[in-house]
Chain A
Amino acid sequence: MRRLLYLLPFLLFIGVGVAFYMGFQRDPRDIPSALIDKPVPSFTLPPLPGRPEGLSAAGLKGDVTLVNVFASWCIPCKAEHPVITRLAREQGVTVRAINHKDKAEDALAWLARNGDPYASIGADLDGRVSIDWGVYGVPETFLVDRQGRIRFKHVGPLTPQVVEEQILPMVQHLRTQG
């Protein structure tokens, strides 16, 4: 019993050491969304000037939709743009966007330059709707099911790997679910 007491510091240290070791396999910057499996926040965003359709909570019902939060000033957004374009044009996923804290003319110029795969874009000038979505750094991407519930969130630029391994299977699954 007494000997066990002297062993206690060693055992505690083993626990801490294992935690440190396992800590390497995680990214402290990954933050989970509080909104998973919750309906999208109620919101209505106007379209970019000269465009017909904005974005609203009601508009996200009925189809499985990828909602991408982007801005023309965001460098990683440009990096993920080809991935999103392919997803929309070749893999047939409906992609809509929230244009986060941007100037309308900058956003339009950016889309003209890089292509516009989005079915519709809501302009979030002051970033308030983005806060309702729990966005903390562009780009962020959400997957919304037919009932308009948020089912998945990815922070940072989308990569082909994330699309293949997480988004496409999830889209398939949500579509068959009805």
Chain B
Amino acid sequence: MKDFAPPAEALRPPTVSEARLLSVLDTAADGIIVIDEHARILIFNKACETMFGLSAAEAVGQNVKLVMPTQYARDHDAYVGSYISTGVKKIIGIGREVQGLHADGTVFPLELSVGEAATPDGRQFIGILRDLRPRKESEQRLADLQSELVHLARVSAIDEMGAAIAHELNQPLTALMLYLQAIRRAHSRGVDIVTVLGDILDKAAGEAERAGHIIQRMRQFVEKRDPERHVRPLDPLIDEAIDLTLLGQRHRIRIDRQPGVDLPPVSVDPVQIQQIVVNLVRNAIEAAAGVADPAIRIRTRASESSVVLEVQDNGPGIAPEALPKLFEAFASSKRRGMGLGLAISRTIAQNHGGDLLVDPGGNGSGACFSLVLPAAAMPDEVG
């Protein structure tokens, strides 16, 4: 009891209602601090003792700045003073995320809601505090898991494209080996190839470089990295992703690429956006594979404050019964793959403040997927 009572009244036994109040305060899972008009701590409950590593005896009577990091502490008196003189509420009745200072110097996030009471002893402010660390930790864990899953889907896409990529690598390797065999042959037969040797070696080196580029492009795509944001024009990212998707494709598809004019940049994780493009283009190629003249239209355009990428195929469209589960994970109608592509793509789009939409087509027109991303407001705002 002495823990909560103002020092001046420490010797007076509490009344029944006071005792009840004190017991309620002690039982509360949230931290509760009551201060007076001068920001002096009147009440500091048990949850606060744990939260800040201070006993009530140490806290009561002190300015509440005691449990605030320097930045907040500096401004707090001014806030209280400003409210008392102007009556403009900055936090009272609103609640917000602030930072607390533990006795050991740790600064941690807190959710703070403040109420106000007029008492015979003057105006008092009641703060209810919740340590946000457990919530932040679970949010972080969720974000980590999601990023793992996004990466997993990317690795899976490359895995599914493995045979095609092996074929694509085989071309420069074949050429490289033939150039080397030609030199070897001429050399072992004593043929004078001095005049053309430099040219052949240049070509051989060019082929080795080509193989290196393919591996580099793949590696950039599958490498595990933390999510990031960069302000970038969208079209070059899309073109790179199309190149990656078409690695080792067996040609017979027409790609009609229509880049946008004067598109604003977007603030994106470039690899994640390319992951969406790879997924959409692969799906489109697959959807159009059965028609006589398979073709895909890939268009970018500005729309109000967004940038839109459309991937339209000329396949049969999406069956109405497949539509409700289209964006669900593991609901793929395909034999290969994990069925994560569209689910992950939509998650990525939404994490970017955008969305992934579909026009299912049918009746002679193919499906059209639209990736909508908000235009970046200021190119130098995010880095």
**Is B a genuine binding partner of A?**
no
